[in-house]
Amino acid sequence: MMDGKEYIESLRKIKPVVYYMGRRIENVADDPATAPHVNAAALTYELAHDHRYEEIMTARSHLTGEKINRFTHIHQSTDDLVKKVRMMRLLGQRTGSCFQRCVGFDAMNALYIVTYNVDKKYKTDYHERVKDFVKYVQKKDLMCAGAMTDVKGDRSLKPHQQADPDLYVRVVRKEEGGIVVRGAKAHITGAVNSHEIIVLPTRALTEKDSSYAVAFAVPVDAEGVKMIFGRQTNDSRRFEGEIDCGNPKYATVGGEALIIFEDVFLPWERVFMCGEYEFAADLVEVFATFHRQNYGGCKVGVADALIGAAACVAEYNGVANAPHIIDKITEMIHLAETCWSCSLACSYEGIKTPSGAYMPNPLLANVTKLNITRFPYEWSRLAHDIAGGIIATMPSEKDYKNPETRELIEKYLKGYAEIPTEHRIRMLRLLENLSMGSGLIESMHGAGSPQAQKIMMLRRSDLDKKKEIARVLSGIVEDELHKKIRPSN
């Protein structure tokens, strides 16, 4: 297993094509635009070597028997699923940010489960290819980016109906040694500082969309792969100093990128689906279940940091014992722990798949994520209420360090007398960073927007059984009339 320093050094050895703000990033490990995201991901490596966290940060490979970083593991029990979300909360607490490594982790587990089913139907060898890839990732302790979301073009049209056929990633042609793909994936977390990109289809597909039913893994620096690193709220602050960043070491969210595949060649051993369109929806659903499971872990870990910041700001403002402040902080705790309970529940209620690997309970995983589309906005609102308007009007770090204005800021931004003004400024900036940045958008749209969770919840809730329960309790015997009016699933 690599440690954090070895991970950062490994990034210096590869040369992905990355653009940001009109320039080429030559070294993602050291460039100030990407370094904070690298630091957050590095902690997933570093904590695996800390004996205090060994149980949740590492696992034993079922393929090789070797001790591995849990982010490269294929879940073998509900205990693995629970340890996964415990790991997520820990890392959220330690980074106050997105540590990025979970998306590829979830993509790898989804492929492991679904390719087993594809092989059973078509006698293909995708599952063996996935196992070989997993062993490679485990041996090298690689970070994989998961790339699912296509750019989609006209959302009312299926992939094959688009005016531009490249608006979903597709197979352009098959060759003797592999396939050539073209297209783009959007919003891809941690892509620029990963070693590999795992690409999955983004939606259910029809037979006419079969060329879009493709899954594969490709090195980030493969020929034809280009990435454009996205902007984030207040991202330019990292070029201006430390205090205004709020969370200078780990930035805000996951450093998302637009990934373009310009006729990229994939050898067959790197291809895990090619044309089996009827399994695209399964792959999307299994991946989404894994990824939605996470949010009650990682987002609650970040909420722990925000709750702590709000409590500190209340102390620095001299109002920590005010009943309404205590009530607001208690409400923040309630909201966060509700989401945490959901993550634990879907993990403990996980199921064993025919592949032998385990996945979370799909219904409860979607409940988890739907709560995350709502509750972070509320706990952020409460944090803003506690902090006051100064989080939106505070003078800059440059003004604070300017000899002509420093003493004025020291005097007039003072709170509780015993607390240095700089401490108050730093805590307010952290609270701003944790509650007003791109993380809220990621809470809403990461792992699917709210409607996606609602569709899955209804599909998985077994409404007919609930109606039967009601009929039995009310003394109604089901007859042909009830069968006739029952809607088909």
Distance of alpha carbon 135 from alpha carbon 68, whole angstroms: 10
Active-site residue (options: 112, 168, 295, 358): 295
Active-site residue (options: 58, 291, 316, 397): 291
Strand 170-175 relative to strand 178-188: parallel, antiparallel, unpaired?
Answer: antiparallel
Give me the residues paired with residue 215 across strands. 273
Sign of the Cα torsion 407, 411, 412, 413 reads positive
Active-site residue (options: 34, 98, 168, 277): 98
Give me the residues paired with residue 266 across strands. 179
Q: Which residue has the tokens 């700001």?
A: 313
The yes-or-no answer on residue 442 being catalytic is: yes
Active-site residue (options: 245, 274, 298, 346): 298
Q: Which residue has the tokens 């000899």?
A: 403
Residues, the chain, total? Answer: 489
Burial class (CB in 10 A: 0-12, 13-18, 19+), 73: buried
The yes-or-no answer on residue 98 being catalytic is: yes
The yes-or-no answer on residue 240 being catalytic is: no
Sign of the Cα torsion 22, 27, 29, 32 reads negative
Residue 281 Cα to chain centre, angstroms: 20
Give me the residues paired with residue 257 across strands. 188, 229
The yes-or-no answer on residue 404 being catalytic is: no
Active-site residue (options: 102, 144, 312, 342): 102
The yes-or-no answer on residue 346 being catalytic is: no
The yes-or-no answer on residue 384 being catalytic is: no
Active-site residue (options: 189, 202, 252, 373): 189
The yes-or-no answer on residue 144 being catalytic is: no
Active-site residue (options: 46, 256, 315, 432): 256
Taking CB atoms within 8 Å and a gap of at least 24, the contacts of 342-345 are 342/296, 342/367, 342/368, 342/371, 343/85, 343/88, 343/293, 343/294, 343/295, 343/296, 343/297, 343/300, 343/368, 344/82, 344/85, 344/296
Distance of alpha carbon 273 from alpha carbon 289, whole angstroms: 19
The yes-or-no answer on residue 196 being catalytic is: no
> Active-site residue numbers?
98, 102, 189, 256, 291, 295, 298, 442
